[in-house]
A and B are shown apart, each in its own frame.
Chain A
Amino acid sequence: MLMMPVLDLQFGERIVTLMAALVLVLQIAMVSQRWIVLHIRIFAVQSLLLAMIAATIAWYNHAPHIYIAAVLTLVVKVILVPILFERLVTRMEIHEEIEPIVNVPLSVLIAGGLTLVGYVVAESFYRPDAPGVGHNALAVAISLFLIGFFTMINRRKALTQVLALLSLENGLFLAAISLTYGMPLIVELGILFDVLVAAMVLGILVYRIRESFESMDVSRLRRLRG
């Protein structure tokens, strides 16, 4: 009765669509909640889902080099970066976000609106002839990009801005997977290496900001003008 047609392409498409939808929900959850540690964990789960999407697409389209990208994503974005940031948060002892510039219900609604924009943009890429998965994931990817960008502007704690930047890059990774089955391996390696180093660098910077300003509130960075 509940037969699992695992090798069926349609099933694969459904699973990928489902995971992409979950990724979107997580991104909206990131907009709506205010605990920094939870933010980091949601980012980790989101990256995990992305790695799983990559693996699924690799399976169904017989593109083995995407497996490597998936594993790398797993190692860097699911394990290394969240551990780095959680240690940072423990050291800095800040756990809650202050009120963002646009209040939470409104920013959640804006995030919904940006999702719609993402869909509209993704429509122009729609290729009905191309088999396999893709269209939904691309829309989610662009939405992730836009929502990440919005969160960067909206939030005031430095670490949250960094996480928003990283979720923006997550969106780009998803776009790469769904548009072109990932980029050449060297490029993926380079990008992931950059992400790792960026996380470390930004982490150190956030720590130093916290030390100097007694707070991670970047709206206090106003001394340089003109």
Chain B
Amino acid sequence: MLLILLLLIPVATAAASYFARRRTVMEAVNLAGFGAIFFASVVLGARVLADGTVSLANGFFYADALSALVILLTASVALICASYSIGYLRDDQQSGELGDDASGKEQLAQLRMYYTLTPLFVFSMLFMAVANNLGVMWAAMEATTLASIFLVTFYGKITSLEAAWKYAMIGGVGLSMALFGTLVAYYAGHNLTGSAALSGLNWSVLAQHSAELDKTSMRLAFVLILMGYGTKAGLAPMHTWKPDAYSEAPVPSAALLSTSTLNCAFYGLIRFYILTSGCLGAEYPSHLLLLFGLLSMGVAVPFVLVQKNFRRLLAYSTIDHAGIMAIALGIGGALGSLGLMLHMTFHTIAKALLFLCAGNVYQHFKTDQFSKIKGSVIKAMPLTGVVFFVAMLAIIGMPPFSLFQSEFLILRAAFDGGHTLTGVLFVVFSAGVFAGVLLLVGGMILGPGGDEPVAARRPWRNGSLLALASTLVIIGFWVPAPLFELISRAARVVSGQ
């Protein structure tokens, strides 16, 4: 019942927003809806901790610790973004970004589109995490792309269209490859359960019998899935849509894209990894994952160093972290999986925070180029400046923040498992990104002051910022026990214990 509720609430929210007449109603509905989703996801987490797994409808819906973690992360980011977007979109409306007709109808239509598409977007991500059937998982992933295309074109600029087109095309091709991979995986398993049975594509069933799957097919399937879901995750060389999409979409949507969609893409990847390593042993998928992971990290470094636009910088940082997570998955084992899950959690919080800060900066200075932000952020917007700086330190892995701990864990797993070259390259690339981001963003935040006035009040936005920032800082020192238990259980699902 809980799972159905989890899926129904966002749909209801979308419907309610669609038919609402006033902006305040839409905002309230969204906030309430996402709050309810967050609550439901916490309850789900508790249920999973208590019962092990939750399943419904003869195994059609299935949630274990991994699903519960992904859902919890998605729901939290969605809630924060919902409260942030209230302030963000009000500012946009005032400054005329949404269209400037006198009656306000055009603006209302834009707002309606945002407040309807975002719950649908979240719905598809939640669906992906609770679907047991691999094919339905794919359909949900495709739905996330479709829902977010119009979020990317939100501002209707020429560059937005270009970004949306790249996103649509590259995402479309990638997802077709993923569909092919799903098909081949189905073929690998159809000897077990019969062709017409729905359970033939059920992950839980396939995972149990993974040793009996057809080996050559699974090889091909994994490559296709890696390239397919890897496109959505932003692993190089399929990453080229990311910088464009993240810099053109409205900031809360970009935050959702870079955290929750990334997590869902990895969720799909992890499910297939479990199947493949059960069938072929962990070496084959591990090699591929390490390759793509290192490639992503390597590609991110030069683009970070010469970046001129801070939203694109955040996109490359996401590509870098996607690479780190791929490496963690590739290393595997108890340590690697734990590192992966911790990193996923911490990255979600930090990256979302970064995007929200970037949104504040963008709306105040009206530009996202480093060179044009002549004054320092910290003088003009003290709260944002401090939070931005803290979040930046966190994302590049500076101790004592949480990401340092998860990256260190991954490194340890690498050296323990004999992946020395990987570990060395990991350090080198991380250093590169560290330097680039610190210099660029630090310079922007702490640079020599201009005479920018101190900014106006923004309760919604700054409130969300503070909430998330405090979470980030606290988590660096203390992870609440149930959360940590959920994370370790998720890690155990990945490593197969």
Contact = CB atoms under 8 A, between A and B. Distances in A.
Interface in B186-205: 186-187, 190, 195-198, 200-201
15 contacts: A149-B173, A165-B173, A169-B179, A175-B180, A176-B183, A179-B184, A181-B196, A184-B196, A187-B135, A187-B201, A194-B142, A205-B164, A209-B165, A213-B158, A224-B162
B121 to A, nearest CB: 13
A201 B142 CA distance: 12
A224 B243 contact: yes
Given A161-B169, A184-B200, A179 B183 contact: yes
A182 B194 CA distance: 12
B216 interface: yes
Given A165-B169, A181-B196, A208-B156, 9 more contacts: A172-B179, A179-B183, A184-B201, A186-B198, A187-B201, A198-B142, A224-B159, A224-B244, A226-B309
Contacts of B198: 184-186
B161 A208 contact: yes
Contacts of A65: 196
Interface string A167-197: 0110010011001111111110011011001
Given A63-B195, A226-B312, A168 B176 contact: yes
Contacts of A53: none
Interface string B252-284: 000000000000000000000000000000000
B133 A194 contact: no
A38 to B, nearest CB: 22
A152 interface: yes
B441 interface: no
A169 B195 CA distance: 21
A197 B165 CA distance: 15
A121 B365 CA distance: 54
Contacts of B133: 184, 186-187
B460 interface: no
Given A168-B173, A205-B161, A190 B139 contact: yes
A22 to B, nearest CB: 22
B150 A165 contact: no
B149 interface: yes
Contact of A183 (B153, B201, B309): B201
B176 A165 contact: yes
A6 interface: no
A23 interface: no
Given A175-B180, A176-B183, A198-B146, A209 B161 contact: yes
Sorted nearest first, the 5 A-B pairs with minimum C-beta distance are A187-B135, A190-B139, A221-B162, A224-B244, A194-B142
B187 A184 contact: no
Interface in A110-149: 124-125, 145, 149
Counting contact residues on chain B (CB < 8 A from A), the size range is 35 or more
Contacts, number: 125
Residue from A125, A165, A194 with most neighbouring chain B CB atoms (10 Å): A194
Contacts of A88: none
B496 interface: no
Interface of B: 133, 135-136, 138-139, 142-143, 146, 149-150, 153, 156, 158-159, 161-166, 168-169, 172-173, 176, 179-180, 183-184, 186-187, 190, 195-198, 200-201, 216-217, 243-244, 247-248, 303, 306-309, 312
B490 to A, nearest CB: 26
Nearest to B140: A190
Given A187-B139, A202-B168, A224-B163, A208 B146 contact: no
B149 A205 contact: yes
A133 B197 CA distance: 20
Contacts of B184: 179
Contacts of B142: 194, 198
B184 to A, nearest CB: 8
Given A145-B180, A202-B168, A180 B187 contact: yes
A212 interface: yes
A92 interface: no
Interface residues of A, number: 43
A52 interface: no
A112 to B, nearest CB: 22
Contact of A221 (B166, B176, B247): B166
A104 interface: no
A201 B168 contact: yes
Residue among B142, B306, B308 facing the most chain A CB atoms (10 A cut-off): B142
A212 B156 CA distance: 9
Contacts of A197: 143, 146
B168 A180 contact: no
A136 B416 CA distance: 48
Contacts of A213: 158, 161
A158 B139 contact: no
A185 B162 CA distance: 36
A184 B135 contact: yes
A65 to B, nearest CB: 6
B186 A191 contact: no
B197 to A, nearest CB: 7
B247 to A, nearest CB: 8
B196 A201 contact: no
B183 A175 contact: yes
A14 B366 CA distance: 65
B196 A63 contact: yes
A161 B200 CA distance: 33
A218 interface: yes
Contacts of A63: 195-196
